[in-house]
Amino acid sequence: MGLDDYREVWLVRFEALRRPGECPTPVCLTARELRGGRLVRLEQGGLGPTPPYPCGPEALFVAYDAPAALGCQLALGWPMPAQVLDLHAEYRCLTAGALPPGDYDLSAALARLGLDGAGVDGLARLLAAMWPHLDLPRALLRGRYTAAVARMEAVGVPVDVDRLDRLRAEWGRLQDALIRGVDSRYGVYQARKFNPVRWRAWANRHGIPWPRTAPGRLDLSLDTFRDMAEAYPEVRPMQELRATLALLRPAELPVGRDGRNRCPLRPFAAKTGRNAPSTTQFIFGPAVWVRGLIRPQPGMALAYVDYEQQEFGIAAALSQDQAMMAAYRSGDPYLAFAKQAGAVPADATKVTHRDQRERFKHCALGVQYGMGARSLAGRLGVPVAQAQELLALHRRTYPTYWRWSDAVERHAYAAGRLRAAFGWTLRVGADANARSVRNFPLQANGAEMLRLACCALTEGGVRVCAPVHDALLIEAPAGDIDQAVAVCEEAMRRASEYVLPGFPLRTDVKVVRHPERYMDPRGREMWDNMCWLLDRGPAARSA
């Protein structure tokens, strides 16, 4: 397949006003047909009811950051192009692992290739330089996903605007009140400043072996707090507080006049090909209690549909480890792992052997991220020797998986790259992190299947509000939500089989109908605390 297979190839660039939380308002379009040279420039008043270029399968639509351009198409009521090539997505695919993750605008991509230019002229130069390196059928599949992204960004996530407005109005007071309330059980804050020495003393008093970045220096990253909160529930309130203070800026959370959170989903920004929306602008980005602001509008319902144990299932299917595949198919792979390892009896359940299941769960998840014995011991609060035995049990229970994982690492360093099922590629240098290399097939193939599901659902008319790592938030009238869920689950199942032939992954569903709100159980305590503080605030007393 090549450019000659298309009757016309259009290079398209929009300029638009992008108010926080709103769909774009196109103000200018520049488009050029590559071979014939026809140039079209339209200002806001001249952007009519139909596009000045064909959108059928005989034409190729080329853009840089296609979701932004396609968002303008949607705002104008124009049809989506049937064939989309996003040079930003392809630039990221060609450089993932070789360049730091993030955004690279057209000028940066051109400069790296020793080119200059801007607008559609720069786009033409970039296309010519990249064309010999493109895997067009798979590039068009990624382009298809950018259309799904544009549709999802247009839908947005409905939020409780009244509660958000109160949060914004009283945020300064609330921060101080939250610190006082949460810190009353820890005693580690001085004004708004976190004291690492006091935190170390608290952790020592409670027998929590906190990870360190160097001798005597605690690892105080948000990721470490999140991991430790999973292992030690007593850490959760402090973890939520620190994430809230670091990431939540209510005034910056973009919500449109229709009460929906919208922000760029930034597809392909991560080196695994996953989306990487801003943690301060995306409602799912800050502390998990903030998700309590998500609320279906009157007459509507939301459903959160996520793959169950996605990464465990992908590891089992790719490695073809029969014991691991059986563990996934059991419905509870972590308890199955404990049974297969002989650590619990065959009739054990989540209730009867909760603690053992949790240990094997953390071991299984830790293996997927390349966690060593010392880190696993810290997460579980057990001696290093016990963590070493858990990891050894994993190797003995799933030897085929380990042979596959070892082979992945060897191949990556020898070939200098790894590829996911539909072509997303990681460049692997001699200094690449081995843990990231081993984890790449799980993350990248998880991203591939979610992209396929998004394409099928958005093209089929399902209102997808947002993708969230391995899950989708969808919306429908309350009376239709069960049917929408059934369609979503089937699309996600089929997508998983496209990536993992013969090994479909399960999904789990949580439905929320108006006037209920979405709530992540991990954030319930902090949400209740925040609501209590709001209801006692000046605005509440004056109401």
What would the pLDDT profile of 370-381 be if each residue is shown by its tens digit?
888 888 887 787
- The pLDDT, as a whole number, for residue 538 is 58
Chosen CATH of 311-439 out of 1.10.10.10, 3.90.420.10, 3.40.50.150, 1.10.150.20: 1.10.150.20
The answer for 187, left when phi > 0, alpha when psi is -120 to 50, beta otherwise, is left
- pTM value is 0.92
Tokens of 262: 């919208």
When the pLDDT of each residue in the chain is averaged and rounded to a whole number, the result is 93
What would the pLDDT profile of 395-438 be if each residue is shown by its tens digit?
999 999 999 999 999 999 999 999 999 999 999 999 999 999 99
What would the pLDDT profile of 328-363 be if each residue is shown by its tens digit?
999 999 999 999 999 999 999 999 999 999 999 999
Say how far apart CA 245 and CA 88 lie, in whole Å.
33
Task: Please check whether residue 182 is in contact with residue 265, taking contact to mean a CB–CB distance below 8 angstroms.
Answer: no
- The pLDDT, as a whole number, for residue 541 is 43
- The pLDDT, as a whole number, for residue 102 is 60
- The pLDDT, as a whole number, for residue 43 is 94
Using a pLDDT cut of 90, give the percent of the chain over it: 79
What would the pLDDT profile of 450-462 be if each residue is shown by its tens digit?
999 999 999 999 9
CA dihedral 18, 23, 26, 32 (to 10 degrees): 100
Provide the pLDDT confidence category of residue 263 given band limits of 50, 70 and 90: very high
CATH number of 3-155: 3.30.420.10
Provide the pLDDT confidence category of residue 540 given band limits of 50, 70 and 90: very low
Find the helix packing angle between 434-459 and 310-319, rounded to 10°: 110
pLDDT tops 50 at residue 505: yes
Domain borders along the chain are 3-155, 311-439
What would the pLDDT profile of 273-306 be if each residue is shown by its tens digit?
999 999 999 999 988 999 999 999 999 999 999 9
Provide the pLDDT confidence category of residue 498 given band limits of 50, 70 and 90: very high
Task: Please check whether residue 169 is in contact with residue 175, taking contact to mean a CB–CB distance below 8 angstroms.
Answer: no
- The pLDDT, as a whole number, for residue 104 is 81
- The pLDDT, as a whole number, for residue 430 is 92
Say how far apart CA 500 and CA 513 lie, in whole Å.
33
Provide the pLDDT confidence category of residue 50 given band limits of 50, 70 and 90: very high
- The pLDDT, as a whole number, for residue 120 is 95
pLDDT tops 70 at residue 542: no
